[in-house]
Amino acid sequence: MFGAGRLDDLAECAFLPMPLGSIRPNGWLLRQLRIQADGLSGHLDEFWNDIAKSGWIGGDAEGWERAPYWLDGFIPLAFLLDDEKLKEKSHRWMDYIISHQHSDGWLGPVHDKKYHEYDPWPVFIVLKAMTQYQEATGNERVIPAMERVLHRIDNLLDEKSLFDWGKSRWADLVLSIYWLYARTSEKWLLDLSAKVKEQGYDWRRHFAEFQFKDKVTKDFSQITHVVNNAMAVKSPGVWYRQSKDEGDRESVFQVMGMLDTYHGQATGIFTGDEHYAGKDPSQGTELCAVVEYMFSLESLFSILGDIRLSDRLEKIAFNALPATFKPDMWAHQYDQQANQVICKVAEDRVYTNNGPDANIFGLQPNYGCCTANMHQGFPKFASHLWMRTHDDGIVAAAYAPSTASFEIKGRPVQVSLETDYPFDKSLRFIIKADQPVRFPLYLRIPEWSKDAEVENTHPEPGSFHCIEKEWVGNTSVTLLLPMRAEIQRRYHNSISIERGPLVYSLKIGEEWKKVGGEEPHADWEVHPTIPWNYALQIDKEIEFRSKALGDCPFSPDGSPVQATVKGRRIPEWTMEHNAAGQLPESPVDSIEPLECLLLIPYGCTNLRVTEFPVLR
């Protein structure tokens, strides 16, 4: 989207995302994307009928949202890895969809002749996939196809207003409209975006008058649905570009604040197992909500440029995202829990209204939407690591090993980051310019970083450190982000432990039991093999140890960092409804022996306790 936002009709984006393909993953991130491509993401179209025989590619299986969801994550994965086989799949799918555009401009299947004959919602998703594909390939057919389908939607909305999912998720369409407007300057597009916003649900008002302050146990609706809310986080910020109303900008943080206050979890995500579920760490969060919250934050950071958004993005990306996958990414959960002590098929369950298999690791536990939509998490994170600035500079939006390639005044430049962050404090930037070129490099200093150091200076937490100079040859800049252990008070006066962007959880021994399907994409229960019901003693400093990164750092055995703490078992804290029972109110007493406990990053766990009672 580089270049978007420079038109007078829209408020200027703070930072400008770089076209897909401008950023390449390195180090652990490259390995993680390769694991993803070798798992479900790279193979769903070969065996899962909802993709392999999708109505979007001429088959007789599901022709609604699932193929667009898959493409929205698969396309950036293919081009980030520069994988010829995966890119060829992307070309085939995009060619079919564009070649089979209807004469009236509609894209994709037309459903029954009743209420849902033309449901715009799946088109919202496929447009996001198309924008990424166009950026990566420069394909000249994409923009005309987008114009035609948006004209069709424009006319359709005069006949029938947005409904159901499209009404709740209107901001996703507005993002694509703005993308197209930045390339065509066609004024009717802004009229269309205004119509879409007017017909969409008013999320700003919803959170200004927030009523859902407890676990929702009845009257489920679109507005309490966890994925809709994860998408809604960006709604006022997206609309801010057109309204230029500071109230819309400020509403973003009110949305996040309400979700944190009443439903927030230690990892930066909020509960919803299918709907708002309160702050109990045994309640679940749907995987779709994790990846959609990440995309909301990526979009918002570009628009608003607020460091709090990128800090939250990293917290979710390094914790909640990897924890909800089997380490080889051949299986995933529908629901993850902060205190997740067993994953099994259970009719007696804690969830608001999800099914008995919602937290097992499988191909499509509970419902197939997450099987289709989970793919965007890591790829979109990678493609938003760097953004351009309006003064011809570049900003590190989030930190992971990567290389960004771009031009300044026709001169090629590369900025690479060599790092094991978030598992290590050292970040080494290498700026390569064959010809002398002057530009600013902005380094984000997270709000949690109290002792950051770069170029013999100590920048303030929550700021951007700017290095502006003439760059030539290879220049190295090292940023140190020392990480201190921090204790956070949580549900029932419990605690969670954070260090930098990572949240730490009890490492629980586990036994995997196959309960269905065919390997490698089978369904698995995970059972604990050691006790989990501990309260912590927090009067001593927490000791951390590190080891070299392996091929799969987001796994219990591959965790590159671990911490040791002291604690005692709480025998009366037991399982209820096949989950960790009601968290005891701290402080608690125990006569059990004091034990040394091992904590690892949340994202490395499959079973865990994250919110602990505290010993008196």
Which element (helix H / strand E) includes 546?
strand 543-546
Give the list of residues 6+ apart from residue 412 with CB closer than 8 angstroms, or none.
405, 406, 433, 434
Which residue from 319, 220, 215, 316 is spatially nearest to 262, judged by alpha carbons?
Answer: 215
Interval 94-110 mean pLDDT = 97
Q: Sorting pLDDT into bands at 50, 70 and 90, what band is 218?
A: confident
Please provide the CATH number assigned to the domain covering 388-480: 2.60.420
The answer to whether 597 touches 534, Cβ cutoff 8 Å, is yes
pLDDT per residue as tens digits for the range 113-126: 544 589 999 999 99
pLDDT score of 593: 98
Measured in degrees and rounded to the nearest 5, phi and psi for residue 579 equal: -155, 170
Q: Sorting pLDDT into bands at 50, 70 and 90, what band is 18?
A: very high
In a 3-state reduction of DSSP, which class is residue 171?
helix
Give the list of residues 6+ apart from residue 96 with CB closer than 8 angstroms, or none.
56, 57, 58
pLDDT per residue as tens digits for the range 549-604: 999 999 999 999 999 999 999 999 999 999 999 999 999 999 999 999 999 999 99
pLDDT per residue as tens digits for the range 471-510: 999 999 999 999 999 999 999 999 999 999 999 999 999 9
Interval 293-314 mean pLDDT = 98
- Express the helix, strand and coil content of the chain in percent, nearest 5 each: 35, 25, 40
pLDDT score of 6: 46
Is this model's pTM higher than 0.75 or not?
A: yes
Measured in degrees and rounded to the nearest 5, phi and psi for residue 431 equal: -105, 120
Which residue from 13, 16, 75 is spatially nearest to 397, judged by alpha carbons?
Answer: 16
The answer to whether 14 touches 302, Cβ cutoff 8 Å, is yes
The answer to whether 124 touches 166, Cβ cutoff 8 Å, is yes
pLDDT score of 7: 63
Instruction: Find the length of the chain.
Output: 616
The 3-state secondary structure of 490-533 reads CHHHCEEEEECCEEEEECCCEEEEEEECCCCCCEEEEEECCCCC
The answer to whether 273 touches 284, Cβ cutoff 8 Å, is yes
pLDDT per residue as tens digits for the range 158-210: 999 999 999 999 999 999 999 999 999 999 999 999 999 999 999 999 999 99
The answer to whether 239 touches 294, Cβ cutoff 8 Å, is no
Instruction: Examine the pLDDT at 8 and tell me if it is beyond 90.
Output: no
Residue extents of the structural domains in the chain: 39-200, 388-480, 485-604
Instruction: Examine the pLDDT at 439 and tell me if it is beyond 90.
Output: yes
Chain-centroid distance of CA 296 in Å reads 8
Instruction: Examine the pLDDT at 281 and tell me if it is beyond 50.
Output: yes
Q: What is the mean pLDDT of the chain?
A: 96
